[in-house]
Chain A
């Protein structure tokens, strides 16, 4: 067996990007690169996680992310079980922690958890013996999405530091935006957020970003334009007027893109609302849109994360980390 690199500072659970170091992120991205090659080979299967059990525990619908995690785990040789809870058994009276303890008793090696409430994955991680990967919790974090976005950017631009990244749209309800803001800041990029003030989180500037209220100023000379989905399902009450007005001011089209750098990349975490936050012509522009590449990178990044957490690549020292790893 070839020696595999340790991931410096890899925590026991991957609950968020906040708190990771640049060295950890860079090492994860490096490991992901090797898994792009694996995924592009004829024989895509490795055995680094052979015999391990990974449970995908999804309390919120997501075909894309669940499939990506499933493919990633299977390519590493792990046994994968999918569990969609649909919040139905929580309605029956079983709590999140009861579900977690039940699955914990089956001795999985990792739980990949998505939940509609911020902090639910943190709570669950405190109660189980295995490693926990956050597959997205409420409006808090979606760490593997930020890592796959970073991998996509790094492969296209050769670096992350010094780039100007504009994250546009429904920042308020977006865990993708939060994880990306943390990651890009850690890696030395310059981050802008562009949104109507109703969709801008309170004191978002304290996260180290420049808030912009027009696409024109936000996209000016940007290297990366990252669009976010308008998450109407998370909105209680009215945050914007009509979708047509939203598209007029905040939807990405060729005209608005003109102020960005000529080689600016267009990204979207999916699923897209075409004609609401992004124009089809821009989304499908093969020269600039890397939306499908993001999906491919997703598998590689998740392979790297599972390998690092389950495959014993972590050199994280709980004693030195204090309460952080809880």
Chain B
């Protein structure tokens, strides 16, 4: 059994999805006794199954680096009734996510080094997907006083963000970028001009019909342009979160064209849904930033295709029923995403927008590279963090089946294709789809 007994395991007859080499073809992969990738390739074991070591016949299903999810909210500490690191770990494992970065907007927030160590300790206890912690950008995420970026980084913070709270003050942002540059730290920012984004949904015809205050889409481009100029000024490392508009994609594309070393991500709801999902006051589709127009959704797909958008994140944000079953304006934003990230990202493949290796660049190799995380790629000596998935298996999203504590998905009842069959961390199986991939199958 490939579950941590320390014996090597050969995954044969696998469709290897290699995002770095940009290849998609049959082959095999060998996990060493140390839980690291020993070898892989189309010709490995081509002369026959290896003798004497455990073998998993992948039955031509896809074997890829496990997903590296840069954006996961949990409720621990502070709101354990919404999600704990245990349940988040289980959800991640079931979703094929082998590494995740925990956002700092907990109670208390991660503006103290002890909380970074807490996440790492809990990660070792939970022993499912690997958990990394963001450090807060500012104290108490208030956007005013600089957090202890240096100490937080020494404690292991992988990057710095105030999660869904944008830093509205340009001078504070300028200083944060300079301060982060001192430590070589990466700043991750949600580009939303706060004074233009106090509304509850996308500004436009639907908001007018529903009588809900709108959040103008240019709130994103305005803040993004400010940030990009400040990055140019300071030379700091910068990553923009959750690009949701055509203008946001244009701003990133232009910045990259003028040679700025900046990156960005988006979440499945921004390329798979548009604002119509909130019609009839569906609070489960209330997210930050809000779902945008169909033209914006298409622009996000284009941005993913041409590489303007570097990463896909789940933006997992659990909310209990009490936070959602209220009038729209009062509802808490956020959707759970760990268990729908893989199938919704695969829609880009099934709709013929992107190849599987290109999707896995956005899901695994690029996020790992940007955050200096060990997984996300096939590499000799790299940890064997893997996902075996069937890209075609059809299923219908049912929040009752989620491992997450809450079921606040915007994809309820959506027919999808693709599921993780086996999720492996450091060579150890942390998840097995018991119906589609029973233990006897391997």
List the interface of chain A (C-beta within 8 A of B).
18, 95-97, 115, 117-120, 122-123, 137-141, 175, 178, 201-204, 206-207, 236, 323, 326
Contact = CB atoms under 8 A, between A and B. Distances in A.
B204 interface: yes
Interface string B213-234: 1101000000000000000000
Contact of A117 (B203, B322, B325, B329): B329
A201 B329 CA distance: 17
Interface in B320-361: 322, 325-330
Nearest to B278: A119
Nearest to A236: B198
B204 A115 contact: no
Given A118-B211, A119-B210, A119-B281, A96 B326 contact: yes
**Interchain residue pairs A-B with the least CB separation, the first 9:** A140-B211, A119-B281, A117-B327, A139-B211, A118-B211, A201-B208, A120-B327, A206-B205, A203-B205
Contacts of A206: 205, 208
B328 A95 contact: no
Contacts of B205: 202-203, 206-207
Contacts, number: 71
Contacts of A96: 326-327
Contacts of A140: 210-212
A141 B211 CA distance: 8
A203 to B, nearest CB: 4
A204 B327 contact: no
Nearest to A173: B211
A202 B207 contact: yes
B280 interface: yes
B209 interface: yes
B319 to A, nearest CB: 14
10 contacts: A18-B209, A95-B325, A118-B211, A118-B212, A119-B212, A119-B281, A123-B326, A202-B207, A206-B205, A323-B280
Contacts of B328: 117-119
Given A117-B329, A120-B327, A204 B212 contact: no
Which of A18, A138, A178 is the most central at the interface, judged by chain B CB atoms within 10 Å of its CB?
A: A138
A206 B205 CA distance: 6
A95 B326 contact: yes
A207 B329 CA distance: 22
A175 B281 contact: no
Interface string B173-216: 00000000000000000000000001000011101111111101
A207 B328 CA distance: 21
A120 to B, nearest CB: 4
Given A96-B326, A97-B325, A202-B203, A122 B208 contact: no
A178 B280 CA distance: 16
A119 B198 CA distance: 18
A247 B216 CA distance: 29
Given A119-B281, A202-B203, A178 B209 contact: yes
Contact of A202 (B198, B204, B325, B326): B204
Contact of B209 (A123, A207, A323): A207
Contacts of B208: 178, 201-204, 206-207
B293 to A, nearest CB: 10
Given A202-B208, A207-B209, 10 more contacts: A18-B209, A95-B325, A96-B326, A117-B330, A119-B211, A123-B325, A139-B211, A140-B210, A202-B216, A206-B208
B328 to A, nearest CB: 5
A123 B327 contact: yes
Q: How large is the interface on B (under 10, 10 to 19, 20 to 34, 35 or more residues)?
A: 20 to 34
A175 B209 contact: no
Contacts of A138: 211-212, 327, 329
A206 B214 CA distance: 15
Contacts of A118: 210-212, 281, 327-329
Contacts of A236: 198
B214 A115 contact: no
Which of A118, A120, A203, A326 is the most central at the interface, judged by chain B CB atoms within 10 Å of its CB?
A: A118
Given A119-B281, A202-B205, A203-B204, A178 B325 contact: no
A141 B280 CA distance: 13
Contacts of A137: 211
A207 B212 CA distance: 15
A116 B152 CA distance: 44
A323 B329 CA distance: 22
A97 B324 CA distance: 11
Contacts of A115: 327
Nearest to A118: B211
Contacts of A175: 211
A202 B215 CA distance: 11
A118 B325 CA distance: 14
A281 to B, nearest CB: 33
Contact of B281 (A122, A139, A178): A122
Contacts of A97: 325-326
Which of B209, B214, B322, B329 is the most central at the interface, judged by chain A CB atoms within 10 Å of its CB?
A: B209
A184 to B, nearest CB: 15
Contacts of B213: 139
A192 to B, nearest CB: 16
Nearest to A326: B280
A175 B211 CA distance: 7
A106 B94 CA distance: 45
A290 to B, nearest CB: 26
B63 to A, nearest CB: 41
Interface string B299-318: 00000000000000000000
Given A95-B322, A202-B203, A119 B327 contact: yes
A207 B207 CA distance: 11
Contacts of A122: 280-281
Nearest to A204: B208
A292 to B, nearest CB: 28
B281 A123 contact: yes
A57 B252 CA distance: 50
A160 B319 CA distance: 47
A204 B205 CA distance: 7
A123 B280 CA distance: 9
Contacts of B210: 118-119, 140
A143 B329 CA distance: 21
Contacts of B329: 117-119, 138
A234 B322 CA distance: 25
Which of B208, B213, B322, B328 is the most central at the interface, judged by chain A CB atoms within 10 Å of its CB?
A: B208
B41 to A, nearest CB: 52
B211 A178 contact: yes
